[in-house]
Structures are given as C-alpha cells and as structure tokens.
C-alpha cells in the first residue's frame, strides 16, 4: 500500500487540489444562488416566489448525478456545450444553492421583525437593512448548517469523476484500473476525503465558537 501511495502521490496531490478548489468555488457560488433564491422566496413578487419554490423542489427532488449528466451530456443536444469543469461547477452550485437557500431563508426568518423596522426607521432601504442588519444576524444562526453543506459539497465533487474531471475519485479509479490496486487506491482516497473534512469540521467548530462569543 505504501508503494502504491508513493507512486500515486503526485497524481493524488494534483487531484486533491482539484477537488478542493472545485468544492470551494462551487460552494461560494452556491451561497450566492442560495441568497438570491431565499430573498426571492421571502420578499419577491408572487410569480418569482413560485419559480424559486419550484426550483428548490425540483433540484432537491432529483439526484445530483442525474443533474450532472443532464447538464454535461444533455445540454449539447440543445446546442449548449459546456466544458466538464464549468458544467460540474454550475450543477454543484445550483444543487447546493437549493439547499443553502432553505438554510438562509430560515436564518433570515429567525431575525426579529423589529430589526427590519429599526433599520427602516432610520431611513435605510430594503437592501441596506438586509445587508447591514439582517444577514449578519442570520449568519450566526446558519453557520452550523452551512458548514455541513460545505463538507457535503467536498464529497459531492467526487461525482465530477463521471464526466471526466480528474479529481480524487477519478485518480483512484484510473490508478486502480492501471495497477489492479483498487482497494488500496479507494482506501487512500477515502482517507484523504476524511482527513480534509475533519480539518474542515475543526475549522467550522472554531468559527461557530467565535460567532457565539461575538457581541457580548
């Protein structure tokens, strides 16, 4: 196993890097999607609210793998061809965005209505109150669930392997099939995922502690 690891190390490092940046970029975009969908669902005009609710329902009700395949293999049929990596990022961002929108929506609703009113009474606009008053308070509430979403995202990047993106899981598969060292390779990759996510969990716990301590 050690020799397998030594031989595969350069590929694994490269692949870990791909996995991480895919996860980070997709997650950042999913926050933007989630915020937009949450705001529309809470405060948008009725038709947009309905569309946003339908988006969340469809995305949460269908498998991520199906969505990735649809975007990568399906869209070209309609004349829209997207490279593998952008296709994966787009899909992951929309998919996770549907989930984070629910977290963000709940977080915003947990902020007392009086906070909106206090912001309005000093003459602030909707966008100003949202950005300056509501979101900072919502963040405190939703950080734990967003942390979990991020970890889920890192694991979900493994599905990019089915559309030729060379990330951790794909490397394990490739090296495994070239050397017949499947068990070793998948165990190694599993450990790498686990290690990365454990580090993220520690970071998340620290962030939560920090946020709990703030404002005292």
**Packing angle of the helix pair 2-43, 182-213 (nearest 10 deg):** 40
- In this structure, are residues 27 and 208 in contact, taking their beta carbons and an 8 Å threshold? no
Residue 48 near another protein by CB under 8 A: no
Which residues in the 125-164 window bind another protein by CB under 8 A? 125, 128, 132-133, 136-137, 140
**Pick 90 or 108: Cβ nearer another protein:** 108
C-alpha 97/C-alpha 168 separation (Å) is 23
Min dist CB 146 to another protein, Å, is 17
Residue 180 near another protein by CB under 8 A: no
Give the position of tokens 């791909």.
18
**Pick 2 or 127: Cβ nearer another protein:** 127
C-alpha 172/C-alpha 183 separation (Å) is 9
- Rule CB under 8 A: choose which of 5, 124, 187, 207 binds another protein: 124
Residue 214 near another protein by CB under 8 A: yes
Q: Is 161 exposed, middle or buried (0-12, 13-18, 19+ CB in 10 A)?
A: buried
> How many residues interact with another protein (rule CB under 8 A)?
21
Min dist CB 134 to another protein, Å, is 10
How many C-beta atoms lie closer than 10 Å to residue 10's C-beta?
9
Min dist CB 168 to another protein, Å, is 38
How many C-beta atoms lie closer than 10 Å to residue 190's C-beta?
13
- In this structure, are residues 59 and 102 in contact, taking their beta carbons and an 8 Å threshold? no
- In this structure, are residues 200 and 148 in contact, taking their beta carbons and an 8 Å threshold? no
Min dist CB 204 to another protein, Å, is 20
**Pick 46 or 114: Cβ nearer another protein:** 114
Quick note: the x/- pattern for another protein over 78-117, rule CB under 8 A, is ----------------------------------x-xx-x
- In this structure, are residues 95 and 66 in contact, taking their beta carbons and an 8 Å threshold? no
Min dist CB 123 to another protein, Å, is 3
C-alpha 129/C-alpha 131 separation (Å) is 6
Min dist CB 133 to another protein, Å, is 6
* DSSP three-state, residue 166: coil
- Which spans of this chain sit near another protein (rule: CB under 8 A)? 112, 114-115, 117-125, 128, 132-133, 136-137, 140, 214-216
């Amino acid at each position: 196993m050690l020799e397998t690891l030594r031989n595969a190390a350069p590929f694994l490092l490269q692949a870990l890097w791909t996995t991480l940046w895919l996860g980070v970029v997709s997650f950042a975009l999913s926050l933007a999607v989630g915020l937009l969908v949450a705001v529309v669902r809470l405060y948008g005009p009725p038709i947009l609210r309905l569309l946003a609710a339908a988006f969340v329902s469809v995305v949460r009700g269908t498998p991520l793998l199906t969505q990735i395949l649809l975007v990568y293999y399906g869209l070209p049929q309609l004349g829209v061809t997207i490279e593998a990596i952008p296709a994966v990022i787009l899909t992951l961002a929309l998919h996770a965005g549907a989930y984070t929108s629910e977290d963000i929506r709940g977080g915003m609703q947990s902020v007392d209505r009086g906070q909106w009113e206090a912001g309005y009474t000093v003459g602030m606009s909707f966008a100003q109150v949202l950005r300056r008053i509501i979101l900072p308070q919502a963040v405190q509430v939703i950080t734990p669930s967003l942390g979990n979403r991020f970890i889920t995202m890192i694991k979900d990047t493994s599905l990019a392997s089915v559309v030729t993106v060379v990330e951790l899981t794909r490397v394990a598969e490739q090296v495994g099939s070239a050397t017949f060292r499947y068990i070793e390779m998948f165990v190694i990759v599993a450990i790498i995922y686990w290690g990365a996510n454990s580090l993220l969990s520690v970071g998340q716990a620290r962030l939560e502690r920090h946020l709990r301590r703030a404002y005292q």
